[in-house]
Structure 1
Amino acid sequence: MKRKCLSSLPVGLLAALFIMVLAASALAADFPSRPFEVIAPGGAGGGWDTTARLTAKVLGETGLITQPMPVINKPGGGGGVGLAYMQKKKGDPYSLIVYSPPLLLINLTGQTKLSFRDVTPLAMLINDFGAFAVPKDSPYQTIGDVMEALKKDPKSVKTGGNSSFGSMDHIQFLQAAKAAGVENIKDIPYIAFQEGPMAALMGGHIDLLSTGMAETVGPLEAGEIRVLALTSPERVDAGVLGQVPTLKESGIDTAFINWRGFFGAPGLGEAEKAHLVEAMQKMTETAEWDDVCAKNGWTKAFMGADDFAAFLAKTEGEYKDLLTEIGLYKAQ
């Protein structure tokens, strides 16, 4: 049937189709043949920037990508500026961007109509986790103590973080509170600090800080704070944080993963997509990547394109439920 249909096409059209197929095959075989553009949708020195630069460095050092991979910072809108920029790169296999949970949250909270479906998921590379800290003289000895106080009065514990209301630091604590059986989680006070949330904690301006693990290490070693729990699925093997229980160990059956991964432009070709995913998978198996992860306290967590896309859809649903409960779900 297919042969009959093709044979009925004009010779000129058949020739054009044949040339297009050959051109696509040549592009795939020659890929990559020019420098990439790697977008970090945040400022220099942040998590996205660090992940982008170190990934590009290891891919180059190991010869898995033979073309330059310069990193360009496009901060703004919680990652929304970078996401909008990628829409101009449709089908371009040389444009890559790194993201983490805010990619989902900025869409769910109505900050942008764009979502992870408007880029091409390539690979999750690492997991990082959150931490819940209190001042050294806090009356709360365990995360369970905090949750019991919130069950009695959800306004009794003033929390804070570096991310905005409804973003990562806020959501990871609400997820823990909900799993612990706290009702009316929308009433839990949360203050977003653009900078200096640790100083606010130690100065007594908040009762509990929800933050990333790495931010707690120095103050914890200095004895200035106590970390009550980590959001990791299993206890971490990382210095002083190795002594901190997980939420699950504390009787709260949940975990919050600060994943980071790479995305291609929308409409990325399958051959180029497969090439990039394979390069990133091989990278995660190198000693160079092991060293990078160890130095940064990252957990290796490679996930290929299809599994990554499924993970994003599932996680999006979980975030949606939380944001709906606190009145912040505004996706269109």
Structure 2
Amino acid sequence: MMTFKLGFRELSSVVAAIGALGTWGHAVAAEGEAAWQPQGPVEIVVPTGAGGENDRVARFIQRIFEQKKLVETPVLVVNKSGGGQVLSLVYFAKKSPDPHFLLYATGTVLSNQISGRTELGYHDLTPIAKLRCDNTALTVAPDSDMKTMQDLIGRLKGNIRSVSFGGVSRGGANNLVLAKALRSGGVDPSGLKMIIFKTNAQSMTGVMGKHVDAVASSVSAAFQNFKSGKLRILAVSAPKRLTGILADVPTMAEAGLDVSGVSNCRYIYATKGITAAQRAFWENAMAAVNNDEEWGADIAQRNQMQDFRRGKDLESDLKATYDATRAAMVDIGLAKAK
């Protein structure tokens, strides 16, 4: 019996022909619309600097694109850090409707709009996929005299400026987790002493060098330095204890702190105005990345959650995440009045 194998190009052609059903209500390919594939270099825009966790994952995607021949034109990773991740969004929005640009984004796309830092939000982009979700870690130097979250809160109650915190953006997911945890512990987070770095890697170097006292980052960003004993994690935002070498790290909930309603997930967006066929191509490409064995192993090793979503499922998830993020930011006084 004769058999046929469909490569990625052919699969994209089939999907584009039948339409990306259910994708935001407008991603169904128009009748007769030809399948699409990149015609020139593809740029993956990263909102933080080179060497950080976001940069690492974006280059991971780049490698899978190339190794699996999902994209047959050159793929470049371009770092556009600055402005609390607003700079990358402004840069990316100006590329519309060019389908050769992708944005590897955090939940800061949501929180920056909610806080009023920019009018641009996820509605000004084309959501392609939700990829992986992380938890927040509050990290200190190994010899810090702050051993628990209660030690930290006690010091802040005595003097709000007595502890300096490193991070990559004000109003980002990790900053929100920190603020919400402190608020629930009886500390007004509005007076915190914050030092903003271009990457989580730089903030880790800052706490190791005693330039800051603590860092609020993703668990994955802190993982390697924690594993090597260069940093100590006071607590994580996960609803229950993580596994592996992180199993002994307490949760913020164990300290009686509420950090619900804050998302720390990663997304891929395309520019606004791309065609249904172009969107179908990128959704299929990211689905192939999600199914990569090495990709899944990396997520598991870093105690992240693989939560791939696309189409209407992604649309509903983004709306729910936006509403929850806004509610959390209103609660701690970081949301701009409507």
TM-score between both structures, scaled by the size of structure 1: 0.75
Aligned residues: 306
- Structure (1 or 2) with the larger CA radius of gyration: 1
Q: In the alignment, is residue 191 of structure 1 matched against residue 197 of structure 2? A: no
Q: Which residue of 1 aligns with 2:166?
A: 161
CA distance in 2, matches of 1:250, 1:323: 21
| CA offset digits 1:17-62 (Å, max 9, x no partner) | xxxxxx9656542434544332223332233332222112213322
Structure 2: gaps spanning 5 or more residues: 1-28
CA distance in 2, matches of 1:74, 1:156: 31
Alignment of 1:24-173 (within 5 A): 27-136=33-142, 140-144=146-150, 146-147=152-153, 155=160, 158-173=163-178
* Worse-superposed segment, 42-51 or 215-224: 215-224
Alignment of 1:245-260 (within 5 A): 245-254=250-259, 256-260=262-266
Q: Which residue of 2 aligns with 1:20?
A: none
CA distance 1:168–1:159, change in 2 (3 Å): farther
Offset of residue 285 of structure 1: 1.6
CA distance in 2, matches of 1:192, 1:287: 37
Q: Which residue of 2 aligns with 1:290?
A: 296
CA distance in 2, matches of 1:200, 1:42: 16
| CA offset digits 1:276-328 (Å, max 9, x no partner) | 22331232122132244356664422122333333333333333344445544
CA distance in 1, matches of 2:330, 2:159: 18
CA distance in 2, matches of 1:223, 1:41: 28
Task: Give the residue type in structure 1 aligned to 2:118.
Answer: T
CA distance 1:53–1:198, change in 2 (3 Å): closer
Q: SS of 2:247's equivalent?
A: helix
| CA offset digits 1:121-144 (Å, max 9, x no partner) | 111111222211345455554335
Identity %: 29
Q: SS of 1:89's equivalent?
A: coil
Q: SS of 1:191's equivalent?
A: strand
* Worse-superposed segment, 316-325 or 195-204: 195-204
Q: SS of 1:312's equivalent?
A: helix
The answer to whether the 8 A contact 2:140-2:207 is kept is yes
The answer to whether the 8 A contact 1:232-1:257 is kept is no
* Worse-superposed segment, 290-299 or 57-66: 290-299
* Worse-superposed segment, 226-235 or 120-129: 226-235
Offset of residue 71 of structure 1: 2.4
CA distance 1:87–1:133, change in 2 (3 Å): closer
Structure 1: gaps spanning 5 or more residues: 1-22
The answer to whether the 8 A contact 1:80-1:112 is kept is yes
| CA offset digits 1:224-279 (Å, max 9, x no partner) | 6532211234433353x232123345544545542111001112223332332233
Q: Aligned match of 2:186 in 168, 182, 186?
A: 182
| CA offset digits 1:104-157 (Å, max 9, x no partner) | 22222322211111001111111222211345455554335545776x668386
Q: In the alignment, is residue 244 of structure 1 matched against residue 249 of structure 2? A: yes
CA distance in 2, matches of 1:250, 1:145: 11
Q: SS of 1:160's equivalent?
A: strand
Kindly indicate which of the two structures has a greater share of residues assigned to helix: 1
Q: Which residue of 2 aligns with 1:229?
A: 235
CA distance in 2, matches of 1:224, 1:84: 36
| CA offset digits 1:147-197 (Å, max 9, x no partner) | 5776x668386351223443344211112234x45364435x232243764
Offset of residue 214 of structure 1: 4.0
* Worse-superposed segment, 32-41 or 193-202: 193-202
CA distance in 1, matches of 2:162, 2:219: 21
TM-score between both structures, scaled by the size of structure 2: 0.73
CA distance in 2, matches of 1:87, 1:204: 38
CA distance in 2, matches of 1:75, 1:227: 26
CA distance in 1, matches of 2:134, 2:289: 18
Task: Give the residue type in structure 1 aligned to 2:136.
Answer: G
Q: In the alignment, is residue 303 of structure 1 matched against residue 309 of structure 2? A: yes
CA distance 1:270–1:82, change in 2 (3 Å): same
The answer to whether the 8 A contact 1:165-1:190 is kept is no
CA distance 1:30–1:298, change in 2 (3 Å): same
The answer to whether the 8 A contact 1:134-1:209 is kept is yes
CA distance 1:59–1:213, change in 2 (3 Å): same
Q: Which residue of 2 aligns with 1:317?
A: 323
The answer to whether the 8 A contact 1:159-1:190 is kept is yes
The answer to whether the 8 A contact 1:127-1:299 is kept is yes
* Worse-superposed segment, 58-67 or 218-227: 218-227
